[in-house]
Amino acid sequence: MNKKFKSAINKQIAVIGLGRFGTEMTRTLFENGCEVMAIDIAEERTTAVADFSTHTVVADASDEATLKRLDIASFDAVVIAIGGNMQASIVCALVCKELNAKNIMAKAQDNKHAKILQKIGVNQIVIPEADSAIRMATTIINPSVFDILELEEGYDVAKIEVLPSWINKSIKELEIRKKYSINVLTVIRQDNTFVNAIADTVLMENDKIIIGGLTDDIRKFIYKS
């Protein structure tokens, strides 16, 4: 299916595998102005995304000739959202890499799957179930943590409640970086305004703060505070 589409963002993305993850990926990219080619081996899956994709293709995305024909290297990014069929996901990633596809992102089923994708050279890998479980577990263990995210491998960012002992003190005075090896990046005031965190910024009651640092340091800080 072809549709004339005026793209605001002007990015062309291929989404391979239209389960829940691939479908939401397609919808979000399309609604935000990307041109999306949505590919699945099952026709009913492609039909389901026809209203919010630029092109749909019914094809086996682990087949080299197919990906070559679709000119996969011409896309700004390729999202491989095949989860359950690990073999198809791995072969697809390998072929994309061999065809010089740019910016390959993939959903993995588990750590082993993620490791293989990483070895192939996939640029960004998520394990959605594990990632959300870890985030939720962290907020259960420490309710003053609102969210935590591994931004880069080995580097975490977290949104937390200001510690009671930090209220009415400046970042410099608290020596946060020196004591905990973490950085306060932004302060969110009670009225939802954002304040750049500088040495003289004074933390106030009901503030939320965004902190960043090495994963080990952030986890140590979060689980101990």
Site residues, ligand ATP (CB under 6 A): 16-22, 39-42, 45, 60-62, 81-85, 88
Using CB atoms, what's the residue nearest to ligand ATP? 83
Residue number, 50 or 167, with CB nearest to ligand ATP: 50
Residue number, 66 or 142, with CB nearest to ligand ATP: 66
Q: How far is the CB of 48 from ligand ATP (least distance, A)?
A: 9
Residue number, 45 or 55, with CB nearest to ligand ATP: 45
Report how far Cα 17 is from the mean position of its chain's Cα atoms. 17
Q: How far is the CB of 157 from ligand ATP (least distance, A)?
A: 25
Residue number, 107 or 208, with CB nearest to ligand ATP: 107
- For residue 158, the tally of other CB atoms under 10 A from its CB is 24
Distances (CA, A) of 195 to 11, 104, 171, 186: 32, 35, 13, 6
Please tell me the distance from the alpha carbon of residue 152 to that of residue 168, in angstroms, as a whole number.
32
Q: How far is the CB of 82 from ligand ATP (least distance, A)?
A: 4
Q: How far is the CB of 91 from ligand ATP (least distance, A)?
A: 8
Residue number, 22 or 213, with CB nearest to ligand ATP: 22
Q: How far is the CB of 156 from ligand ATP (least distance, A)?
A: 25
